Amino acid sequence: MLVVPPQPLPLFAANSLSDGSFRCVFRGSKVNSSSSRLAPAVAAVAREVDDFTKYSGYVFELNPSEEDSLTEYNIAKIAAFYQKKPLIVLRRLVQIGSTLGKWFAVRYLDSVNERADEMFKIRAAELRKILLQLGPAYVKIAQAISSRPDLIPPSYLDELSLLQDRITPFSSEVAFEMIEKELGMPIDVMFSEISPEPVAAASLGQVYQARLRSTREVVAVKVQRPGVQSAISLDILILRNLAGLIKKAGKLNTDLQAVVDEWASSLFREMDYKQEARNGVKFRQLYGSIQDVVVPEMNLALTTRKVLIMQWLEGQKLAGVKDLYLVEVGVYCSFNQLLEYGFYHADPHPGNLLCTDDGKLAYLDFGMMGEFKQEYRDGFIEACLHLVNRDYSALAKDFVTLGLIPPTSDKAAVTEALTGVFRDAVAKGVRNVSFGDLLGDLGFTMYKFKFQIPSYFSLVIRSLAVLEGIAIGINPEYKVLGSTYPWIARKVLTDSSPKLKASLRALLYKDGQFRIDRLESLLSESLRAKTERTLIENQNGGTDSKVVIKQILSFTLDDKGAFVREILLEEFSKGMVALGVATLDSVTNTVAATLPFSPSRPSSMTDEDITNLRNLQRLLLLISGLRENENPRMKVNGVRTSNKQMISLNGAPVALQQFEAVQEYLPLLSVLPELPQEMQQQLLRLPADFAGKLASRVAARTLKRVFL
């Protein structure tokens, strides 16, 4: 919501004035020479009346007791309050209807007169002014829209983007009086210096730069805009009733009023600066240690409901810097917010993301936060997995889990519809899947099958859509889902959740058959989950195979990779049994070839053995940092071998011949001494685990041959 400009305004020296004269500077009183050069600018700010106060001031002309009764979101209480003020409600309805109605009418006339294009920029500016006049609730809606450059025409985008951090501030005189009232002491006692004008202004408040007298620390002082509580309360009451009418008229399955309630609840929490400070502390604890992420410290002791004091950060808007690495950092941080801890920033528009002077990503404004429950986080991850792997039947079940469709829906029909919606999008590859496009393509299907948007999900969708919008502004080809999926893949491979373990096993096995291509895909995607700047910058140039080997071994030998390690050991044991059978066949055929009149002996390898042998080699290649298509030994005379072709070549199994060149796996051996000590110890324990699995596999194979 608030971005600090690269060059901060000069600080006003509070201690250069005698006691009691600090406030008078902002009323045009005479000051000493050390600060008189700032007086004209201050006076200008004090005289200027912002559009919200000028046009909608009647909405918040409440006495303190009335205003205090609207501090929490309770729609019944709000409705009862405004039932006693019908004239204010009527006046607000007329104002909203007349201003927006007039604008839409003019736009219609522009199109009729065929001058819509030439008037486009003018109408965009008029819309921005109308939203400012109507106040914070409408500005908040516009802020969310303005973060989608792929959906909003450029002229409107330019104008609505100004609502993110360039809103006309309210009077500094009023702001300083509020600071003194909230903190219970004169400003010159609290601060030794403070900027005479706000350094940034937004829909709910504005920020001053100051220096604490007690600690000499430079801080940001955020002051709430007068009247936002009552104005937002009334506007939400109107919007909620409008949502009910739309739902009824459109016969929608989604409870639009519940969606409004969720948004309104978060908005009311945002207006409580004490809650915002607590959110900031929690956000810093959870995500402040992420590489190249900065979260300002909150001063809880000096924060009230309407005044927030926090650490000052220097920098500029992320969108203006166009640093793709910081976008990736933001995606990773958002992944952690949504899918790791479930506590997420629900308002990540460009005004709330800052590139600091030392090149780090700073999060600002923690008023609008959301909670994503564990069962929904797991469901969202599963939905992404099933989408990428084109398992639309499972995806339909995920939508039930997430509450998007009722359990009574026709799953077969939903599966068919989802296949039609997602087939083309996913065919381009996960890296090219646009979150915004998916939402757009889902529109008709959602209406047809009475999809419902759960209230909790509206903020999640908004957060992801806004994040992709920011990224698109820097790189038009950027896809947030494609950048998030590597972290989803890594989480599925390493998470201890029983539900995700079951999902991983279901993904990797079908009818008892191991689908190694899916493991290869998950591992390959998980290796794209990079947060180091050098890796981001070099990702298009390829990565050294030793680095890949280290990454794969690191996470399979780590405690979090225990479940995947078990699967790998299981598949390695199957492959080694198949390799033993192939070796026995080779020896038998060699001996038989030296004996006269020796009858030809059929191979004892089954199709399952051949598949297991191929999987073994692909696993070795995978751990060695190679891919199947990079290995010429997977082909015979330039042609990829099938199961039948793997049976024999010059009297020996082709599959066995392919293991003769051990130099392909030397990079794997060379990195083992470079692994951390705890991982080397884990590596030493693997032979015992593997021997146990191999012994049971051999015993099962022997018993099978004896009895069958």
Q: If you search the block for the tokens 């191991």, which residue do you land on?
A: 514
DSSP secondary-structure letter at 649?
A: B
What is the spatial distance between Cα 416 and Cα 439, in angstroms, rounded to a whole number? 17
Residue 674: CB atoms within 10 Å: 12
- Phi/psi-derived region of residue 391, left when phi > 0, alpha when psi is between -120 and 50, beta in every other case: beta
Question: What is the residue type of 329?
Answer: V
Residue 580: CB atoms within 10 Å: 15
Ranges assigned E (strand) in 464-584: 509-510, 513-514
* Phi and psi torsions of 453, nearest 5°: -95, 105
Ranges assigned E (strand) in 528-589: none
- Which among 527, 468, 542 has a CA at the least distance from the CA of 494? 527
User: What tokens appear for 392 in the block?
Assistant: 């639309």
Residue 477: CB atoms within 10 Å: 10
How far apart are the two ends of the chain, measured CA to CA in Å?
72
What is the spatial distance between Cα 647 and Cα 575, in angstroms, rounded to a whole number? 15
Residue 552: CB atoms within 10 Å: 21
Given 347, 378, 495, 585, which residue is catalytic?
A: 347
Give, for 235, the enclosing helix (H) or strand (E). helix 228-250
What is the spatial distance between Cα 391 and Cα 396, in angstroms, rounded to a whole number? 9
Residue 316: CB atoms within 10 Å: 16
| Tally of CA atoms within 13 A in the half-sphere of 619 that contains its CB | 22
DSSP secondary-structure letter at 203?
A: S
559 is annotated as an active-site residue: no
User: What tokens appear for 405 in the block?
Assistant: 């469709």
Question: What is the residue type of 679?
Answer: M
Contacts of residue 537, defined as CB under 8 A and 6 or more positions apart, other chains included, come to: 325
DSSP secondary-structure letter at 338?
A: I
Give, for 12, the enclosing helix (H) or strand (E). strand 12-13
Q: What is the side-by-side strand order in the sheet with 315-317? A: 293-294, 361-363, 353-356, 315-317
User: What tokens appear for 370 in the block?
Assistant: 């959301």
- Which among 327, 325, 237, 345 has a CA at the least distance from the CA of 282? 345
What is the spatial distance between Cα 342 and Cα 349, in angstroms, rounded to a whole number? 19
| Residues forming the active site | 347
